[in-house]
Structure 1
Amino acid sequence: MTMSLDDASVNPADRLGKALAGDMAAVNTLIRERMASEHAPRIPEVTAHLVEAGGKRLRPMLTLAAARLCGYDGPYHVHLAATVEFIHTATLLHDDVVDESQRRRGRPTANLLWDNKSSVLVGDYLFARSFQLMTECQNLDVMRILSNASATIAEGEVLQLTAAQDLNTDEGIYLQVVRGKTAALFAAATEVGGVIAGGSEAQVRALADYGDALGIAFQIVDDLLDYGGSDATIGKNTGDDFRERKMTLPVIKAVAKADAEQRAFWSRVIEAGDQKDGDLEQAMALMTGHGALESARQDALSWAARAQKALEPLPAGDLRDMLADLAGYVVARIS
């Protein structure tokens, strides 16, 4: 993969955004309307800080693209795209409190600018708003998919808490965490687009499989960039996952190949949290030496290829091509 992040002409997220510009404008209008609060002005303040932060709006775009791909011409894909963005924003607010993060998308986090209480409560408000929005579609399948995804996301976050600082966390548990905290919403975002459009069972399954694989590739790339991306690229500080003692895929792979002395190092920095100057560099040297970073990169490429293959049952055309290109683009950052 040789595409550059700076080349908008080959950036499928930007191309998808242009193709769905009218729909996305409607989504943004609806988000602004529904994040208002007559009685608690802090809610739109906190929400606007995140919503207006210049994120790509990738998940709602996936919902819109999936609905259009299956020939939808009704109004409710806009409600569903806004629902997906509200769920995502709520989880970000909660994540930043749990992780004690200070930066999100290159800006100070809401918990830093306001406080933890505001972040948690505004996140709760956005979850509630998302459920109000999804019920307006009056489609039980849509409500089942999105409510299940919300539960799975919460479950994945709790699992990550218990797995994060445990050297016994293996790739199976890691995949379970990633499917929960990241891939569940990608899969739900694409699946509900197909459902609201009345897509066939095969098309809806294909869209869910695409979202699942794309979400897993996306998270592995994010974990890799923490050990090799620039702060500007990843929107957080390089090495944050290490400082937060997270058992992400590169660490899991390095621990699996560690000798007794190396395992003692990992136990000190991850399990005991006793980190000193130079430990991040040593961790990266161990990951490189054991081929853990390259192995994780290959896993990301493999999941991206699975996402592309999943699209085959869907109607050929520009939208399907853009979704396939998007999977390639997600992993281009580590290629």
Structure 2
Amino acid sequence: MAKILVTGGCGYIGSHTIVDLIENGFEVVSVDNNSRSSIGSIGGIEKITGVKVKNYTLDLKDYDATRSIFLENTDITGIIHFAAYKAVGESVEKPLFYYENNMFSLINLLKCVEEFKVPYFVFSSSCTVYGNPDSIPVNEKTPTKKAESPYGATKQMGEVVIEDFFKNANGASILLRYFNPVGAHPTTFIGELPIGRPMNLVPAITQTAIGKLPKMMVYGSDYPTRDGSCLRDYIHVCDIAHAHTLALQYLIDQKNVSKCDVFNLGSGNGITVLEAIKTFEAVSGVKLNYEIGPRRSGDVVAIYADNKLAVEGLGWELKYTLEDMMRTAWEWELVVSNKS
């Protein structure tokens, strides 16, 4: 069994990916400082898989602490790097906070990749690297434009750093540019658990529906879309998770065509914010209390993926519909709320 280090392993996408890796025969070690996640995710992973995953509770900005993981696990053969702050709005308010966390952690990891000769590296990137694209859907050759937020800028910078590093390093990397992961594991043992007020759409929807939030805001009604709200590409977190396993296997099987291959991970369909709300209402039977507000700084107008390269190159198949995404997100919210 290849041993894989998952950074941000207690987080939303990280925890689902650990489950998928274990179910596909990998051994996993996790690291997470739990500043934006719960250590309880490790228990959820164990309930699903029967495997208790070792998690290092440390900050990847601390180089010596990061290096200690590799000293204790000299047989790590791959890294999937999720650990990063990801809230667009917060990054606009606190840019240095984002640049320091997201960039220093990546650089420290790559130093360890070099020293300990880790051959495979998969990076959690984002469709934010495309900025406001001139045309949609976007494919991997769509030019990147100026990022609309410091968060997006850290993903653009991260891609450049990784590409430059692997030009002269042994091994290879993959940049996975994913769109909007939503939903929860069908068992409801793990899901999205935002700390504080949710920054992403679907947790805001479910927390409003359950009564944790009195109402939610839809930012903008005058965008050039079908109904005036922002248009996004929503994809189930389990589909996203499996793509990471496939990407890792792709590198192990030496199918990569360059030292740094790129894949979009999206459903291929554009859904507006208001359409997402209507789908949730239909699935849950709950009428949502929402208000139309002004545009939010940092938001892209409209974007969705051309996912042909991932489907054909990685052998990726999408299993979950938008209705599944909303249903599992709502079931997860009901479980979390009953526990609290």
TM-score after normalising by structure 2: 0.31
Structure ranking higher in helix proportion: 1
Larger Cα-atom Rg = 1
